[in-house]
Amino acid sequence: MTSLASPIITSRRPGWVVETLPFDTVPKMFWQRVDELGSAIMMRQKDLGLWRAYSWADVGLIVSEIGAGLVSLGFAPGQVASVLANTCREWVWADLAVQSMGGVCNGIYPTDAASQVEYLCVDSSSVFLFVEDDEQLDKYLENRDRLPLVQRVIVFDMEGLHKLDDPAVISLDALRALGRTYLKLQPQLVQQRLGTRGPADVAVLVYTSGTTGRPKGAMITHSNICSSLAAGSSSLFEGLPMGGERVAFLPLCHIAERMVGEYVSILRKSTINFVENPETVFENLREVQPVVFFAVPRVWEKVYSTVAITIREAGKLQQLAYAWAVGEGAALVKLTEAGQAPGALQRLRYWLARKLVINNVRRMVGLDRVQLALTGAAPISPALIRWYQAIGVPLREGWGMTETTGGGTITPIGAGKPGSIGVPGPGVEMRISEQGEILMRGGSVFSGYLNLPEKTAEAIDADGWLHTGDVGRVDADGYFYITDRMKDIIITAGGKNVTPSEWENQLKFSPYVTDAVVIGDKRAYLSCLVMIDEDNVAQWAQHRDVQFSDFKSLCRAPEVVNLIGEQIDKVNKEFARVEQIKQFRLIEQRLTAEDEELTPTMKLKRSLVNRKYAELIEGMYSAKAA
Amino acid sequence: MSDDILLSLANVESSYGPIKAIRGVSLKVRKGEIATVLGSNGAGKSTILKTISGVLDPTRGTVMFKGADITGHDPAEIVRGGLAHVPEGREVFPLLSVHDNLLMGAYTRSDKDGVARDIEQVYTYFPILRERERQDAGLLSGGQQQMLSISRALMARPELILLDEPSLGLSPKLTKEIFEIVVRINRERGTTILLVEQNANMALNAADYGYVLENGRIVMEDRCEVLREKDDIREFYLGMKDTGVRGERRWKKKKTWR
């Protein structure tokens, strides 16, 4: 077998440098910003319909009170506190307070079931648990007997709990009151505790979603985060000004929003706007019109399909105007990709398209002021990136993972290659291994999995290379491309290696498909399970008078099955015969983030789907139904 | 199979001006059964009935009754075809006597003897109406008006009755009585009934087959005894939920409709 290995690739882009940061831990960065920025606004959250603002000084005071409250209850440096909440201001306060007191902060997904919450608290040895509200509190109460380490549970929102009299439960306000008293006795507490931590200490625990087996707690040190931040400023922002509005809504327990939403915002002196709840993301986006917007592909897909559907229902004139304007944009994008400069007339036409049409679209979706648009955490279709560029949203793709503290590669401004995840950021080394796996080395590579030295050794080899588990290649310009996850590669009964996600991503570009899982390991041919996009398929069916009532009947309508079949055939044409899908089935259950089949970022879990739908899968292989 | 389907809606959409109240509803009512559509305020339940009976013309889709397309037909013609609508809020003629109200229900009929026999029969269902025979309908209590309005629909000798929220504004005891009669009418006369209700408990006990409507779309359908056992129905429609570890649970689970 020929070796797939590449030489070591590092950042070659001019201006991409590792900054020297005047702090070496996360809390020190925060407190430095509090001193510098004082009364400027750090964050906003909507309360009963009004955006409520908190200055850096306000947050500093709150954080010191929460921290002192924890210490008064016995919190010691190096201990772990967990946060179980949706993305909100209190999440960030708790994180900063825990770290300011020398502790380690661990995030738990609010969609996790009680048993998972129990496992994560036990595995991380959490001594405090912050919960959002009564719903999340109940997850603790259900399993409290098995959580003897947890000394106190702090509740952000006490609505419905005022009658609760439980010595283990305290409200955030009560904790702050304890902290205020404690601070009078120990006014130097924050300074003292900041000194207890150095760069090598663990700052946060991030549990990887664990598509196979139990989740693993990645230990991320202050130095890991600072390395990632030091590299991010120049490569991510490429000369954009500091400050500006941001919208935060992805789960903060995920490394991406924790870094980009919280720590990068602190570094870049931005204002964080928290959405009211996960359902109001698009409405809040319109209100805030952020300068920086980071989202996962699913959100970018949703914004696009909102526009596409609005246009479909608009008048003839609007439809023509939209097609013309986006066509002008697309032509410009094509030219840029080919490395050519557009002529004056073409620039004028695009300027007109922007003025007359596109700016309205941008305002409607809330992206009119966006300077940095970023996607990551999952693969995205190149066609979608081109559409955003056509409407003047410079959408860039970043690649990173929990184990790299979010750092890795990013597509440079104006020099992206669709389909590529970009070039390595400053300060990291990357290469392709003999087996074709992408390896990475650098300061942002995590320090190991909690309590799992053998798993750590599997991930980081003796030379310090992190084995990312992604299979890919690198081109002559140093751009990386991902073909698949190493463990997802399918070897068919015929001995052919197939990378399923390439095929799946092509199918996901269809507006009627949300997600798909290709099956075929040790099988004669490939098949797949498809999760349809309910909104779009329902609208399609209604438009064509296809009768359906509930979700199951929608999935069973022969016309819908045919529609998905057509989408699959279309994708099949782009692949070689052995890589084509011969059979498929629709998942007839509507899945939500609470379901075990989906990761919190709403991706289907391959191994679990394989197990759970075994019967459905067998059905595609048993009968000669083809 | 299709023979015993009395009424079917296919992809029906109806709007009030620019507001779409039902966004593509397909449902079937089999001959001789009681079917029910459950849903909260504003889900579009009454709109479905109004669309069937021709009060409202759908912007899309078809309504089939006894194998014929009745989409957008004149309401009077639909009544003659054997489909009566008992509107929400009773809507009796307040200044006409009970007896005259019943005669209004028989307006489309010409067999005087038959009408007299039917009046006798509805009086056996609702004896109180016989006592109030000569009174103005406006002087009846809410429950009595509801009885009258159901009786008036029966006077057209319909094969299918559309019943819009018979429990509205009635005491639990009266509601129970009315539902008992509704079931009795169905069993004794073989009249098919499409019932729309907010009182899910009552409706699920009385009906054979149920649809759940949310935001103008059907999210779930099944036989009522199956629906009664579904988690979402128990929590959101029947108000039964486990109280959790604290003995009181305020937060709501997400609806999944499965």
Q: Which residue has the tokens 């959100």?
A: A299
Q: Which of A135, A542, A590 sits opposite B257 (nearest CB)?
A: A590
Mean pLDDT within B78-107 = 92
| Residues facing A554 on adjacent strands | none
| Of A388, A213, A590, A54, the residue nearest B220 (C-alpha) | A590
Instruction: Judge whether A425 and A232 are in contact, CB under 8 Å.
Output: yes
Handedness of CA B121, B125, B127, B130 (dihedral sign): negative
- For A159, which residue in chain B has the nearest alpha carbon? B250
Rounded distance between C-alpha atoms, residue A228 and residue B183, angstroms: 70
For residue B49, tell me if it sits in a domain. yes
- Rounded to the nearest angstrom, the gap between the alpha carbon of residue A410 and the centroid of all alpha carbons in its chain is 15
pLDDT at position A302: 83
| Of B85, B160, B152, B165, the residue nearest B125 (C-alpha) | B152
Distances in Å between the Cα of A406 and the Cα atoms of A206, A317, A438, B35 are: 11, 44, 15, 55
Q: Tell whether B81 lies on the interface with A, counting CB pairs under 8 A.
A: no
Inspect the interface and report whether the beta carbons of A547 and B10 lie closer than 8 Å. yes
CATH number for the domain harbouring residue B51: 3.40.50.300
Residue A393, both tokens: 């949203």
DSSP secondary structure string for all residues of chain B: -GGGEEEEEEEEEEEETTEEEEEEEEEEEETT-EEEEE--TTSSHHHHHHHHHTSS--SEEEEEETTEE-TT--HHHHHHTTEEEE-TT----TTSBHHHHHHHHTTT---HHHHHHHHHHHHHH-HHHHHTTTSBGGGS-HHHHHHHHHHHHHTT--SEEEEE-TTTT--HHHHHHHHHHHHHHHHHH--EEEEEES-HHHHHHH-SEEEEEETTEEEEEEEHHHHTT-HHHHHHTS------TTS---S-PPP---
Q: Which residue has the tokens 């990645």?
A: A218
Instruction: Judge whether A83 and A253 are in contact, CB under 8 Å.
Output: yes
Q: Is A568 helix (H, G, I), strand (E, B) or coil?
A: helix
- For B22, which residue in chain A has the nearest alpha carbon? A542
Instruction: Judge whether B69 and B61 are in contact, CB under 8 Å.
Output: no
For residue B119, tell me if it sits in a domain. no
Residues of B in contact with A594 (CB under 8 A): 254
Query: Going by DSSP bridges, is the β-strand pair B160-164/B83-86 parallel, antiparallel, or unpaired?
Result: parallel
- Say how many C-beta atoms besides its own lie within 10 A of residue B247's C-beta: 7
Inspect the interface and report whether the beta carbons of A164 and B217 lie closer than 8 Å. no
Query: Among the residues of A143-241, which ranges form H helices?
Result: 172-185, 189-194, 222-237
Q: Which of B25, B211, B256 sits opposite A592 (nearest CB)?
A: B256
Residues of A in contact with B211 (CB under 8 A): 549
Over the stretch B108-122, which tens digit does the pLDDT of each residue have? 888 999 999 999 999
Rounded distance between C-alpha atoms, residue A538 and residue A535, angstroms: 5
| Total domain count, chain B | 1
| Kind plus residue range of the DSSP H or E element containing A358 | none
Q: Which of A159, A547, A594 sits opposite B11 (nearest CB)?
A: A547
Residues of B in contact with A541 (CB under 8 A): 24
- For A134, which residue in chain B has the nearest alpha carbon? B251
Four-CA torsion A265, A269, A271, A277, nearest 10 degrees: 20
Rounded distance between C-alpha atoms, residue A156 and residue A140, angstroms: 14
Instruction: Kindly indicate the confidence band of residue B1, based on its pLDDT and cuts at 50, 70 and 90.
Output: very low
For residue B105, tell me if it sits in a domain. no
Q: Tell whether B61 lies on the interface with A, counting CB pairs under 8 A.
A: yes
Rounded distance between C-alpha atoms, residue A588 and residue A555, angstroms: 6
Query: At CB < 8 Å, which residues of chain A contact B?
Result: 133-135, 138, 141-142, 159-160, 164, 538, 541-542, 545-553, 589-590, 592, 594
Residues of A in contact with B246 (CB under 8 A): 134, 138, 141, 164
pLDDT at position A210: 59
DSSP A22: S
Instruction: Judge whether A441 and A464 are in contact, CB under 8 Å.
Output: yes
Q: Tell whether B10 lies on the interface with A, counting CB pairs under 8 A.
A: yes
pLDDT at position B108: 86
Q: Is A8 helix (H, G, I), strand (E, B) or coil?
A: coil
Q: Which range of residues forms the domain containing residue B231?
A: 2-89+159-236
Q: Which residue has the tokens 């009512």?
A: B29
pLDDT at position A2: 57
Amino acid, res. B126: F
Query: Among the residues of A186-221, which ranges form H helices?
Result: 189-194
- For A589, which residue in chain B has the nearest alpha carbon? B258
Interface of B with A in 41-60 (CB under 8 A): 60
Sites in chain A below the pLDDT cut of 70: 1-2, 209-213, 600-601, 623-626
Rounded distance between C-alpha atoms, residue A240 and residue A242, angstroms: 7
Domains of chain A, first to last: 26-197+241-291 (3.40.50.12780), 293-368+371-485 (3.40.50.12780), 489-621 (3.30.300.30)
pLDDT at position A226: 96
| Residues facing A131 on adjacent strands | A84, A155
Amino acid, res. A405: T
Distances in Å between the Cα of A311 and the Cα atoms of A306, A321, A330, A394, A575 are: 9, 10, 17, 22, 32
pLDDT at position B52: 95
Inspect the interface and report whether the beta carbons of A548 and B26 lie closer than 8 Å. yes
Inspect the interface and report whether the beta carbons of B256 and A590 lie closer than 8 Å. yes
pLDDT at position A212: 56
Rounded distance between C-alpha atoms, residue A421 and residue A437, angstroms: 15
| Kind plus residue range of the DSSP H or E element containing A262 | none
Q: How far is B227 from chain A (nearest CA, A)?
A: 13
Rounded distance between C-alpha atoms, residue A345 and residue A25, angstroms: 52
Inspect the interface and report whether the beta carbons of A594 and B254 lie closer than 8 Å. yes
